[in-house]
A and B are shown apart, each in its own frame.
Chain A
Amino acid sequence: MRPFYFVLSTLAVMALAFWAYQENYRTRQALDQVESLQTQIAEMRATLAMLRAEWAYLNRPERLAELAELNFDRLGLMPLRPEQFGLIRQVSYPLAELPAISTPIDLVGNLEQKP
């Protein structure tokens, strides 16, 4: 019986060692992946900053005003005026359409006195 236990424990140690080895390598791989992802994130951050700057540059009020003037005949954009403010109750919403009355319905009923 004893040799069997020896063999069994040896095998168990070998199996555990193999498992630990594999875990170790998986961890390393994950860390490498994290590192490459972080590099990517840094690159994307830099790109994002660049795009933000470009967005801000392209949306500078001076340029927008020029574009609005250039495209006036298509867009007809004017500066915001006080007259353009309104109240919601001043909006003349179209009335909801009622369903048309098609066929008349006869209503027949009995009036009953309640006791």
Chain B
Amino acid sequence: MIRTPLRPLARILDARARGENPEAIERENLRLRHEQMRDRARARAEGRLLILGFLFLCAFTAVGGRMAVLAASDEPGEPRAIASGAAIVAQRADITDRRGRILATNLATHSLYAQPPLMIDKARAARELAEIFPDLDRDRLLRQFTGKRKFLWIKRQISPEQMQQVHDIGDPGLLFGPREMRLYPNGKLAAHVLGGTRFGQEGVHSAEVVGVAGVEKAFDEYLRDPANGAAPLRLSLDLTVQAAARRVLAGGMTLLNAKGAAAVLMDVHTGEVISLISLPDFDPNDRPAPLNMGHPSDSPLFNRAVQGVYELGSTFKTFAIAQALELGLVEPDTMIDTEGPLRWGKYSINDFHDYGDKLSVTDVIVESSNIGTAHIAQKIGAERQRDFLGRLGLLKPTGLEMVEAPGIEPLLPAKWSELSTMTISYGHGLSVSPLHLAAAYATIANGGRRIEPTLLAGNGVQQGERVISETVSAKVRKMLRQVVVRGTASMADVEGYAVAGKTGSADKPKPTGGYYKDRVISTFASMFPADDPRYVLVVTLDEPEDRTGSEPRRTAGWTAVPVAAEIIRRVAPLLGLRPAIEPAPGFGVTLAGN
């Protein structure tokens, strides 16, 4: 840059020549220079300010932009303000009876495990643990603690008291984890229906509870599904009825020296099983291990009402008679030949007593004549009989919602010959479970519509296939009522409830073939009240023997019938059935005040 001099000589000389002050020129130039300098400095400062402003703008934009991004974007956080409906509950659902009383629930307990590397005084811990839990072995524990293991379970479930005691040992290597425990507060009641549970996948913080039998296994998926929100599974059982029936049945079983007993009480319209008992039973809280040897029916785990298939004897006569009436082959007063013994090939069919030459159809069933029923079955024929029993549901597994039920196939004869037809008509040659029988009797009782037994409450009246007509159903009920009024089941005449039913005493088959002479399955299949049945009750006793008389009595009339009558007497009022009798005297209101 060329610097302009403050005192240019030419202008000074000019000024001097004109007599002006040359200082003014210098001042003027100085002023101009200062102005130039000032303008430059201002331009620079303005530039700096601009840059600074731009930087600030950038910074604020960045901060503001980030804030906007943060404000706009929904950061996935814990949804803390959600209303607590607890729609998802990771817990096995409860099981209740039809009136909502708890049959199975969960209890929070703790599990105890050890981490040996963290343990301080292993010998002392082993000693004190063995003191708290007598079933643990001290030396074995010590070996496990001092071995190579980094983790071991000590107890799957412990009570709060035991937990406190273990806590008092004070070893940091003994640790607790939460553990859900399945609790059956009613103990043995309904044990077979509920089944039981075990632990599946185990972790320190929780363990899977898995059903092993009965309803617990059949509905395992449903009970474990968290989406149900722990809505309980409502069964059709009635706890009070179940308790009363079990008490009576257990008493009867003891009095009659029976090996086992089963009872099924079912609503004839809805097919709901109100009570299902099999004795001997077990405590599902402490489910016994299955038998390793012997017949499974020797184990208390065996459900005689569902899993046990037996030849149920004369109770089957009802079906032969009902079918003959439905087909119009006979009428209740048709006379049937009962002259015995009835010979068929090398077999002969006998009656318990000799009933003379002829009996009416009603009397055939009242007196329980095998020969008479066999004659009726001959008129029906094998094909039609098989079809009819199939439509009653006696030839297939029942659809009961227990894991055992679908596997229980009735035992059919290999070849359904005419002889089979005759024997099946009075209950030999076809083995079904008491539950099958109850469902078939419910079909007969409710006016002829097929009933599928169910354990779930609240599904309403079943509109099944029609098996027999209303009129035939009424006729059969009338005959069955006669069995109680004047026939083999006279002990079942419970005052006020008009019980109708049919007895059945079947000799037990030997495993080697043939039949035992002194071992029977005695059954009473009943319905009440007879004019408009509401419930069906099937009671089966395994090898009962009434030893009160001079010689042991085994027929159902002396064994299953009185037990069933007592069950009805106890249970019918609990079911809310009004008896058709006068109330006891002294019925009134006593005025009381305070």
Contact = CB atoms under 8 A, between A and B. Distances in A.
Contact of A83 (B86, B189, B581): B581
A57 B80 CA distance: 36
B9 interface: no
A110 interface: no
Interface string A31-53: 10011011001000110011011
B71 to A, nearest CB: 12
A91 B587 contact: yes
Interface stretch (A1-9, A10-18, A60-68): A60-68
Given A49-B105, A56-B102, A82-B569, 8 more contacts: A34-B81, A53-B106, A53-B185, A65-B247, A82-B579, A84-B573, A86-B583, A91-B588
Contacts of B495: 82
A61 B186 CA distance: 7
B583 A79 contact: no
Given A83-B581, A85-B578, A53 B102 contact: yes
Contacts of B101: 56, 59
Interface stretch (B168-176, B236-244, B417-425, B474-482): B236-244
Contacts of B497: 82
A109 interface: no
Given A49-B105, A53-B105, A60 B189 contact: yes
A39 B296 CA distance: 49
A57 to B, nearest CB: 4
Given A38-B84, A81-B573, A94 B589 contact: yes
B183 interface: yes
B161 to A, nearest CB: 15
B80 A35 contact: yes
B187 interface: yes
Interface of B: 80-81, 84, 86, 101-102, 105-108, 183, 185-187, 189, 239-240, 242-244, 247, 494-497, 569-570, 572-574, 578-579, 581, 583-584, 587-589, 591
B187 A62 contact: yes
Contacts of B579: 82-83, 85
B583 A90 contact: yes
Nearest to A80: B573
Nearest to A27: B81
A31 B578 contact: no
A83 to B, nearest CB: 4
A30 to B, nearest CB: 8
A93 to B, nearest CB: 6
B189 A61 contact: yes
Nearest to B240: A61
Contacts of B84: 37-38, 41
Contact of B107 (A35, A53, A85, A86): A53
Contacts of A91: 587-589
A107 to B, nearest CB: 36
13 contacts: A34-B81, A35-B80, A49-B105, A49-B106, A49-B108, A56-B185, A60-B186, A61-B186, A82-B496, A82-B579, A83-B579, A85-B578, A91-B588
Nearest to B574: A80
B583 A83 contact: yes
A86 to B, nearest CB: 4
B584 A84 contact: yes
A84 B577 CA distance: 11
B80 A31 contact: yes
Contacts of B107: 49-50, 53
Interface in A54-113: 55-57, 59-62, 65, 79-87, 90-94
B237 to A, nearest CB: 12
B583 A57 contact: no
A40 B543 CA distance: 57
A81 B569 contact: yes
